[in-house]
């Protein structure tokens, strides 16, 4: 609805994130898994936006793994790092 309220112009950027909570994996494996998780989050949000009527050509998607945490690592803060963010552009 917000996209259409803006006249359906510009783009919606969806950025998927993951937490870095897993310490039992090698660094390379953790990075790979977290990237895949963040990509899956962004893809799920993108699909819902398209299902709700946003043209697929207007949705941009990024996945950043655990590279951009906003909450302290460890404990309950990690849950907030498992997220997808939506931005309106142009």
Give 18-28 pLDDT, tens digit per residue. 988 766 889 89
Cα distances from 46 to residues 5, 9, 59, 61, 62, in angstroms, run: 18, 17, 7, 7, 10
* Average pLDDT of the segment spanning 70-87: 83
pTM of the predicted model as reported, rounded to 2 decimal places: 0.87
Position 72 confidence tier, pLDDT thresholds 50, 70, 90: confident
Q: pLDDT band at residue 74, thresholds of 50, 70 and 90? A: low
| Residue 29, pLDDT above cutoff 80 | yes
Rounded alpha-carbon distances, angstroms, from residue 59 to 13, 29, 47, 55, 65: 6, 29, 9, 7, 19
Distance CA 50, CA 40 (A): 15
């Amino acid at each position: 609805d917000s996209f259409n309220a803006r006249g359906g112009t510009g783009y919606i950027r969806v950025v998927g994130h993951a937490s870095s909570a897993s310490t039992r994996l090698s660094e390379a494996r953790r990075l790979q898994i977290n990237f895949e998780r963040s990509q899956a989050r962004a893809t799920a949000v993108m699909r819902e936006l398209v299902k709700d009527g946003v043209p697929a050509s207007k949705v941009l998607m990024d996945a950043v793994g655990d590279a951009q945490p906003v909450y302290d690592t460890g404990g309950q803060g990690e849950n907030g790092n498992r997220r997808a963010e939506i931005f309106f552009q142009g």
